[in-house]
A and B are shown apart, each in its own frame.
Chain A
Amino acid sequence: MDSWAQATLALQLLAIDPGLGGITIRARTGPVRDKLLEQIDPSAQRIHPAISDDALFGGLDLSATLASGQLVQERGILDTKGPLILTMAERANTGLAARLAMALDKGNDHVLIALDEGAEPDEALDPKLAERLAFHVDLSEVSVREIVKENLTNTRVGVRRFADVCPTKKCMVQITEIAAQLGITSLRAPLFALRAARAHAALSGRNKIESEDIEIACALTLAHRATRIPEPAPQEPEAPPPEQSDSDNENNNLDIPDELLLDAVRALLPDNLLDQLTAQKARQSRGNGSGAARKGNRRGRPLPSRAGRISDGARIDIISTLRAAAPWQTIRRKAAGKSGLHIRQNDIYIKRFEEKSDRLLIFTVDASGSSALTRLAEAKGAVELLLAQAYARRDHVSLVAFRGTGAELMLPPTRSLVQTKRRLAALPGGGGTPLAAGMMTAFEQALQSRQRGLTPTIAVLTDGRANIALDGTADRKQAATDAQQVGRSLRGQGIDVLVIDTGNRPEPALRNLAQTMDAMYLPLPRADAQQLSKSVANALGD
């Protein structure tokens, strides 16, 4: 089953059983997505990531209230029935995700269709919300020409039949076992699979769940949640196409082995499962640092207030509002023929505040052979001590390691001490010193974190003997030039850098590089972890 067929089927199942929660559709805007959305009930309400609480839960209709002088309540989107379409789902912040998750948990037959337009693997719907949606389809590879207009079975019969479909104990066990084999710990997954199987049976006009239903349900609801690839069947390593199994076992329906069912799911496991897993991890660790806006309207240093609308969380600056309304009072009184204070929508001023953004420490650790022999353990120790301090200051930390021919982001920005420690302990050493690549990765991290409202500081721990160029070739001269180049762009962006020379003797080239970056340079011949962490803490100014 291709992803287009999956998507259309998933939508049908959702129409039969709203208890399935919803679907994540990962696709950029385009004709393919539009075609799919045509199938959704036209009464569906659209919500966007910046939606206010008033719009979601209902609240005061300000302009109507002010115009009529009577209280006018607005109905919230969550009070209405029918599907909700969340556009640009990858931009939804934790707060919105939490509220939508709460609404789905309450179970007022809401179906959420999340349109995930993320381009990078780590841009995706909040995992908290994704967990509560049964389906996930990726349409990014589907082209318009492949789309076949299918004759869709009417779901109305299915809706009526759904309540009559009764699962047997056997199929509950089967579904649970498959979920366990795919390494899915959450119990929501098998529950969704069971519901999907029932809905599929109802759609096919049956009262009994058959193997085909389970197969399709598992493929639709479990494949994207898998955290490991199950052991392949010994006799048949190639996954058979899903159609193969239902031809010859019409009579002995539920007796097909789990292995076959598993194969069906396996066939649908995405090729880049491992990539996705890392991306998932990256997403998980985003914490509340995500999107911490620098200019807010709730806290921090006050800024001059500005004309604006009353929206979620905005505070009215009453004095400025009155000041704006004052000149018009006489005219308005005459026009309205009523005495009293006349305040219109465009008089309203809201307060603004500027908040200090959180700091992100990006540790860029040299794990090359030359370092590994002498100082890697010390560097690790120092980073751990710094972590403890960063934890106390509520800083975010991130870890980049470079060795061999390239650099790797070991840990995306997080506040989780446990994770950082775990990654750090697992950091292997050996190979060349691709200093430029390491700095480049740290640079990218710094820029990204800045977009999210963090203030990045890069701490480079190296012995400075760069010998691998940016393109991965072993060329000492080119490596040094590349490092200088990355250093210049770091300086250009005004990112704070701290260079810690962990070599046995201070390396002049490294001091030079530090100067290029306008960075603080700390030569630490034979330092112990304690001393190193003290110097860094001093350099950072606390």
Chain B
Amino acid sequence: MTPFPFSAIVGQDEMKQAMILTAIDASIGGVLVFGDRGTGKSTAVRALAALLPPIKAIKNCPVNSDKAAGVPNWANLKTKRLHEIPTPVVDLPLGATEDRVTGALDIEKALTKGEKAFQPGLLARANRGYLYIDEVNLLEDHIVDLLLDVAQSGENVVEREGLSIRHPARFVLVGSGNPEEGELRPQLLDRFGLSVEVTSPKEIETRVEVIKRRHAFENDNSAFMLRWQAEDAAIRDRILKARKSLKKLKTPDKTLTDVAELCLALGSDGLRGELTLLKAARAYAAWRDDTALTRAHVRDVAPMALRHRLRRDPLDEAGSSTRVARTVEDVLG
């Protein structure tokens, strides 16, 4: 079944905006979506795939490489032809074994042909694409460690069962979860470029609209898809346009100072906060088709770029969103 179209998701503007920004500039790093059950988190992530422009890759390459030289030897590809594939969006299910994530000895080949072959895992498939983890906060610690390591180096190294294999694994992490059920390690939090908090819509009309669209999606699929796929295509075109104009966009020194001051005032750890905020603001300006980067852009994306980077204060009752909003108000006026 085709996923629910992205543009047909009612409300949840911040979440949608964050996903669009990472689609414009993948180097922003992934999106973390925190919220209750039944708020459309999974729907939005699964819809994202349709929104992403296709990429060029060598046919049948296990790591979706775009150059013939990038195809790993163990893939044993005879012909190396480029073709277009949709941007990979790979689901990492909870409780996935290490073998399935990193790849392991191909037992089938080992048993039937006596060959020592490598069976690539989810990380290989997610290369140059997105890796989606639902309930990321319930992920087992050893998988989290593994992901952190790979996300940092951009390379997956498998050294076991007599195999010694390394392949590129650069992906955008998209995670979702329910904060009530457990928290995320700060190291993993930091890997996500943007974070958003979603809540269920409060107004009856909005909720009815959600029900109506979902009902139409399920029962009058073709007409519904016709209507919304056109909207999705419009967003996709705008993303492509924004990618182009992003290259030309100039960053004034004044904005750099703003970004630095804001991060300093919030006391976010490391420099990743500044970098992400800047990239997000630039992508946002390109999305809005503005020619210059201004303070307004920084202000708009500051909450999603910074709220998960604050030092946790066990004694502060106010949420981090309010803290960011307060500081933005103080620093940028």
Contacts and interface: CB of A to CB of B under 8 A. Distances in A.
Contacts of B201: 187
B314 interface: yes
B208 A288 contact: no
A167 interface: yes
A173 B219 contact: no
Most buried by B among A98, A163, A187, A425: A187
A318 B211 CA distance: 55
Nearest to B214: A191
B40 A187 contact: yes
Contacts of A131: 37-38
Interface string B207-220: 11011101100110
A340 interface: yes
B253 interface: no
Contacts of B141: 288, 394
Contact of A186 (B38, B138, B212): B38
A313 B99 contact: yes
Interface stretch (B74-82, B89-97, B151-159, B232-240): B89-97
DSSP class of A's interface residues: helix, strand, loop or mixed? helix
B112 interface: yes
Contact of A187 (B38, B99, B111, B182): B38
Contact of A70 (B97, B112, B135, B219): B112
A96 B218 CA distance: 26
A414 B182 contact: yes
12 contacts: A102-B93, A105-B46, A172-B208, A186-B37, A186-B38, A186-B200, A188-B38, A298-B98, A318-B161, A318-B162, A391-B183, A394-B185
A372 interface: no
Nearest to B1: A107
B140 interface: yes
A187 B207 contact: yes
A60 interface: yes
A47 to B, nearest CB: 15
B97 A128 contact: no
Nearest to B98: A298
A53 B208 CA distance: 38
B36 A186 contact: yes
Interface string A97-126: 111011001110000000000000000000
A415 B182 contact: yes
A128 B135 contact: yes
B139 interface: yes
Interface residues of B, number: 56
B114 A65 contact: no
Contact of B180 (A66, A284, A343): A284
B142 to A, nearest CB: 5
Contacts of A179: 207
B271 interface: no
A417 B183 contact: yes
B108 interface: yes
A315 interface: yes
A71 B94 contact: no
A162 B179 CA distance: 38
Q: Interface size bucket, A side?
A: 35 or more
Given A96-B95, A98-B94, A185-B36, A417 B312 contact: yes
A19 B215 CA distance: 11
B38 A185 contact: yes
Interface string B39-67: 11010001000000000000000000000
A401 interface: no
Contact of B37 (A99, A128, A419): A128
A419 B179 CA distance: 10
Contact of B182 (A60, A105, A288, A313): A288
Interface string A258-295: 00000000000000000000000000111110000000
Contacts of A315: 99, 161
Given A94-B94, A394-B141, 16 more contacts: A66-B111, A94-B95, A95-B96, A99-B93, A99-B95, A172-B208, A173-B204, A180-B204, A187-B214, A188-B37, A285-B180, A313-B99, A318-B161, A414-B182, A415-B183, A416-B183
Contacts of A106: 1
Interface in A374-420: 384-385, 387-388, 391, 394, 414-419
A80 interface: no
Contacts of B98: 298-299, 313
A108 to B, nearest CB: 8
Most buried by B among A163, A185, A286, A318: A185
Contacts of A316: 107, 161
A190 interface: yes
B183 A418 contact: yes
B38 A189 contact: yes
B35 to A, nearest CB: 10
Interface in B183-232: 183, 185, 199-201, 204, 207-208, 210-212, 214-215, 218-219
A189 B200 CA distance: 12
A514 interface: no
Nearest to B210: A187
Interface in B90-136: 91, 93-100, 107-108, 111-112, 114, 134-135
Contact of A167 (B137, B162, B215, B315): B215
A94 B204 contact: no
A130 to B, nearest CB: 10
